[in-house]
Structure 1
Amino acid sequence: MLWPMFFLAVAFCGIAVLGVLAVRVGLEVRRFSRAVGDSSERITRAAQNLERAAQPLAARSGRLHGQGGTQGPNET
């Protein structure tokens, strides 16, 4: 009767350890998903800032290209 009780206790401890690890994994997944969301928002803001900063340069480039004709920089 001693051995079955021992195996039952070991099985219970194993299930308890797996439960604790599952909770820890769940918490880390939640933290990771929050970090990914924050990073996504920062990337979106940076892309918007880059687009806003590039608009005057693109407009100037379009004006220069329109005035210079179709010749490239190495053609004369």
Structure 2
Amino acid sequence: MTWIFLAAGLVLAGLAVLGVAGARAAAAARTLTREVAAAKARLERGQPRLTPRKDETTAPGGVPSGLKTGTR
């Protein structure tokens, strides 16, 4: 009978450990979601500065003039 109580206690202890680990993972996922949303908002605000501009270095085909295509 003692073995049954010991086994049940070990099962409960294991479930408690898994519950704590699951709660920590859920909290980390919420934090990561907030950080990703904040980074996305910062990138969207700065998007006009990040888009490529048409200038003298871009050839009509869209390849910068310094790059040779089709050669090795």
Q: TM-score, normalised by structure 1?
A: 0.66
Deviation, structure 1 residue 71: 4.8
Does residue 35 in structure 1 map to residue 15 in structure 2? no
Higher relative contact order (CA 8 A, sep 6+): 2
Deviation, structure 1 residue 32: 1.3
Mind listing any 5+ residue stretches in structure 2 that lack a counterpart? 68-72
Stretches of 4+ moved more than 6 A in 1? none
Task: Tell me how large the CA RMSD over aligned residues is.
Answer: 2.1
Deviation, structure 1 residue 27: 1.2
Residue 16 of structure 2 aligns with an amino acid whose one-letter code is L
1:17 counterpart (1, 6, 29): 6
Aligned to 1:75: 66
Does residue 26 in structure 1 map to residue 15 in structure 2? yes
1:66 counterpart (28, 47, 53): 53
Q: How many matched pairs?
A: 62
Which structure: larger Rg? 1
Mind listing any 5+ residue stretches in structure 1 that lack a counterpart? 1-11
Aligned-pair identity (%): 8
